[in-house]
Structure 1
Amino acid sequence: MDIDRENFFAAPTLANEWVTLEPLSGEHADALAAAVGDLHELWYQDHIPSISEVPEYIERLLGEDNRVAWTIVNPDGTPVGVTTYLHLDPVNRNLEIGSTWIGADFQGGALNPAAKLLLLQRAFEDLRCLRVEIRTHYMNRQSRAAIEKVGAKLDGVLRRHKILKSGLVRDTCVYSILDTEWPEVKTGLQARLD
């Protein structure tokens, strides 16, 4: 199967009735700074910027070769978070969804499952991925619960896998969804949102 490499690394606007994913740009900086609040203080993460770091953070994400970044926009048009594809591997048709954050005032509703539905639809239906991976810190119980609720299965834990900016060493939970599992995962996500 021929893979359209350019499409694999593109960031088209993705939308459904609950959320829009717009290609990340510097124009989102002010709204994202307002949304991020103090999420950067969560001890088990190191990918969320502080308010003052948002412009540099956007520039860094956009400068990475193996990452595609979107701004999470709620239905009223307000940017409230960021999500990305990373570790894109068009040859083996897999990628990771990660570095996702949603402002605390916007968590717990339809935004995250609706965004995951869009990202997974693109990965499996447009890019023809065989596997999509999602990783999180072992101690991030909220993220692990959300990933499991999406329908991803735990592949394992990479122990002492990553040194965070704080100097703490992270154990990383690795989850995945396979192309053969996608129809059931999609049905589950649509049922949650309906």
Structure 2
Amino acid sequence: MSWPEPITLKGEHASLVPLSVSHEAELAAAADDGEVWRLWYTNVPSRDDMLMEIERRLEEHRSGRMLPFTVLDADGIPAGMTTYMNIDAKSPRLEIGSTWYAKRVQRTGLNTQCKRLMLEHAFDVLGCIAVEFRTSSFNRASRRAIERIGAKPDGILRHHSRHRNGTLRDTCVYSILESEWPAVKVHLDAMLKSYAC
């Protein structure tokens, strides 16, 4: 049996459902919104590459390395993708990553809601000892978002991999520990209340 198993997570500002090929057209439209795939330091699929990326993530799931989600906005419309990845069932721990959102939902409560749902499931249901986040050193918006939710920096993996254009990538690593989760949960709940005002 794979760990973790596919699940739907629902919140006021966003929901996460298991990724499906049936989401291709709506995810392609989401990627077109703001043309987020143009950022050279990210790996957001373009409209033309969406099906291939969905199939890649589903294959990673079948291999036990990833649990991919389609992110739905408050109206139930696909607005992006995210995953549990670098899964270590023995420890247990995982990374929340390969996340991207349409421009229309950026700077709303959607990302905060997604992280709240995923972290709660990881710590309170799956029993993770730590949850990790990684991003390119050039992705300052992502770094700020990770820090804003309460993750702490673990360090930088220099020349860790390559960006899709072939340039070397320094990867910034962050994490939230099991012992830190209660305070982070309170912090995320307070953030979500501010979006409701």
TM-score bin, normalised by smaller chain: over 0.9
In the TM superposition, what whole-angstrom CA distance separates every residue of 1:3-40 from its partner, at most 9, and x where no partner exists? xx64x321200001111101000111110000101211
Give the CA deviation at 1:95: 0.3
Asked if the contact 2:4–2:126 (Cα under 8 Å) also holds between the matched residues in 1, the reply is: no
* Percentage identity across paired residues of the two chains: 45
1:121 aligned to 2:135?
A: no
CA-atom RMSD in angstroms:
0.9
Q: Count residues with an aligned counterpart.
A: 188
Aligned to 2:38: 41
Aligned to 1:27: 22
1:160 aligned to 2:159?
A: yes
Asked if the contact 2:96–2:131 (Cα under 8 Å) also holds between the matched residues in 1, the reply is: yes
TM-score, length of structure 1 as denominator length: 0.95
C-alpha distance in 2, partners of 1:152/1:138?
16
Task: Name structure 1 gaps, 5 residues minimum.
Answer: none
Aligned to 1:139: 138
Aligned to 1:60: 56
Which is further off, 9-18 or 139-148? 9-18
C-alpha distance in 1, partners of 2:36/2:92?
32
TM-score, length of structure 2 as denominator length: 0.93
Give the CA deviation at 1:161: 0.9
Give the CA deviation at 1:165: 2.1
C-alpha distance in 2, partners of 1:75/1:11?
21
1:116 is paired with a residue whose SS is helix
Task: Name structure 2 gaps, 5 residues minimum.
Answer: none
1:14 aligned to 2:13?
A: no
